[in-house]
Amino acid sequence: MKNTVKKLARKYALIATTLAVASGCAIAEQGDKMTVNQILKAGSPWATTAVYLQTDGKSDKSANLIGDSAISKGTISSAQYSESGFMFIGMTDYTKGTFNQDALVSSINAVTETGSKPAGFAHGDYAIVKDDKGSITRRITNASFAPTKVIDRTVTVATADEFGYTFNKNGNTYYVEHKPYGAAFPGATYPAKLQTAVDSFLAQ
């Protein structure tokens, strides 16, 4: 009897989780700041894997627009999050997950040591908040590329397997999909020296 009850509990927990993932509204209703923050931190480094046009709240996955620079510019990166800070690391090839490790490490060290302008990466502060419609939002402030702006992205998926948000451009809504780096590029390894530099920077 106990085993049956445990199985049913697991079954219903799985159903609840599936429903939460399937709906952006479910994330807003069930998630809280720490839950999404923990997901962002645990899944780091993330890699942008797709940009899809959205219609009526649904992504058109028949066409990945990540290669259209007019749409995807500024959205493609490897993203890493700490408690309240972020780093967006540029990839030399987003289809392979490759980096110019030496140049990036040098740039990160230069920013840390001399306060120079970042090259090949961006950093700043972020928070998970609810907007005036009650939607979970990733809010970026003090960004190295736009220090006076507040940049909001509506989070519609936040799981261990995928993090994604929507943004509006030229009258259209797009969904930006991110996967953990290891899942996005199973044959690749995130550069060790780069990861060490990122960890040190985010720990400041």
Residues 118-131 have pLDDT tens digits of 999 999 999 999 98
More confident residue, 5 or 98: 98
For the cut 60, the answer to whether the pLDDT of residue 18 exceeds it is no
Nearest to 184 by CA among 46, 4, 75, 59: 46
For the cut 90, the answer to whether the pLDDT of residue 117 exceeds it is yes
For the cut 60, the answer to whether the pLDDT of residue 34 exceeds it is no
**Hunting for tokens 């140049």 — which residue is that?**
103
For the cut 80, the answer to whether the pLDDT of residue 2 exceeds it is no
What is the distance between the alpha carbons of residues 180 and 202, in angstroms, rounded to a whole number?
A: 18
Residue-wise burial string across 6-44, b where 16 or more C-beta atoms lie within 10 A, e elsewhere = eeeeeeeeeeeeeebbeebebbbeebeeeebbebbeebb
Global pTM value: 0.81
pLDDT score of 35: 82
For the cut 70, the answer to whether the pLDDT of residue 136 exceeds it is yes
What is the distance between the alpha carbons of residues 161 and 184, in angstroms, rounded to a whole number?
A: 10
Radius of gyration of the chain (CA): 18
For the cut 50, the answer to whether the pLDDT of residue 45 exceeds it is yes
